[in-house]
Structure 1
Amino acid sequence: MLDHGIFEHLQAKIDEESSVRDELHEIVESLARKVKPILDQATKNILAQMEEVGRLASVASQHPFYKYNGVWSRELQNLVFSIEFCAWLGGLSEYKTSMASFLTIEEVGKLLNIPVNLKEQDAFHLTIEEYLLALISLVEELARLSVNSVTLGDYDRPLQINNFVKDMFSGFQLLNLKNDILRKRSDGIKYSVKKAEDVVYDLSLRNLIPKGSAAA
Structure 2
Amino acid sequence: MMIKHEGEGCSRRKKTDSAQKTDNCDSNLTVNLSSPVIAAFKVFQLELDTKHDKYERLVKLSRDITIDSKRTIFLLHRVTSVPGVEEVLTEADVKLDGVRQKIGMIAEEIRGEDLYQFHRAFTPGIQEYVEAVSFHHFIKHRTLISLEEINAKLVFVKDSDAKETAEGQQPIGAQQVLTFQVTPTDYLLGVADLTGELMRMCISSVGNGDMDTPFQVSMFLRQIHDGFSYIGNTGPYEVSKKLHTLRQSLSKVEDACYTLKVRGSEIPKHMLADVFSSRTSMIDQDEGVA
TM-score with structure 2 length normalisation?
Answer: 0.53
Secondary structure of the residue aligned to 1:66 is helix
Aligned 8 A contact 2:155 2:180 in 1: no
1:46 paired residue number: 96
State the number of aligned residues. 165
Aligned-partner Cα distance in 2 for 1:145–1:44: 21
Aligned-partner Cα distance in 2 for 1:180–1:39: 34
Q: 2:221 aligns with which of 140, 165, 169?
A: 165
The amino acid across from 2:181 in the alignment is H
Aligned-partner Cα distance in 1 for 2:153–2:82: 25
Q: 2:105 aligns with which of 55, 63, 70?
A: 55
2:143 paired residue number: 101
- 1:10-21 pair list within 5 angstroms: none
- Structure possessing the higher radius of gyration over alpha carbons: 2
Q: 2:235 aligns with which of 171, 175, 178?
A: 178
Deviations 1:59-111 (A, max 9, x none): 11333322211111000111111100001000xx6xxxxxx712100000001
Answering whether residue 250 of structure 2 is matched by residue 193 of structure 1, we say yes
What is the CA distance between 1:32 and its match in structure 2? 6.4
Deviations 1:107-159 (A, max 9, x none): 00001228xxxxxxxx9631101000111111111012111111111111101
The amino acid across from 2:250 in the alignment is V
Q: Which runs of 5+ in 1 are unaligned?
A: 1-28, 94-99, 115-122, 209-216
Percent of matched pairs sharing the same residue: 24
Measured at CA, do residues 30 and 150 of structure 1 come closer, stay the same or move farther in structure 2, by a change above 3 Å? Answer: closer
TM-score with structure 1 length normalisation?
Answer: 0.69
Aligned 8 A contact 2:195 2:249 in 1: yes
Greater RCO (Cα-Cα under 8 Å, separation 6 or more): 1
Aligned-partner Cα distance in 1 for 2:237–2:154: 27
1:129 paired residue number: 185
What is the CA distance between 1:50 and its match in structure 2? 2.2
Runs of 4+ in 1 over 4 A off after TM superposition: 29-32
Q: Which runs of 5+ in 2 are unaligned?
A: 1-78, 157-178, 266-290
**Alignment root-mean-square deviation, CA:** 2.4
Secondary structure of the residue aligned to 1:62 is coil
The amino acid across from 1:112 in the alignment is L
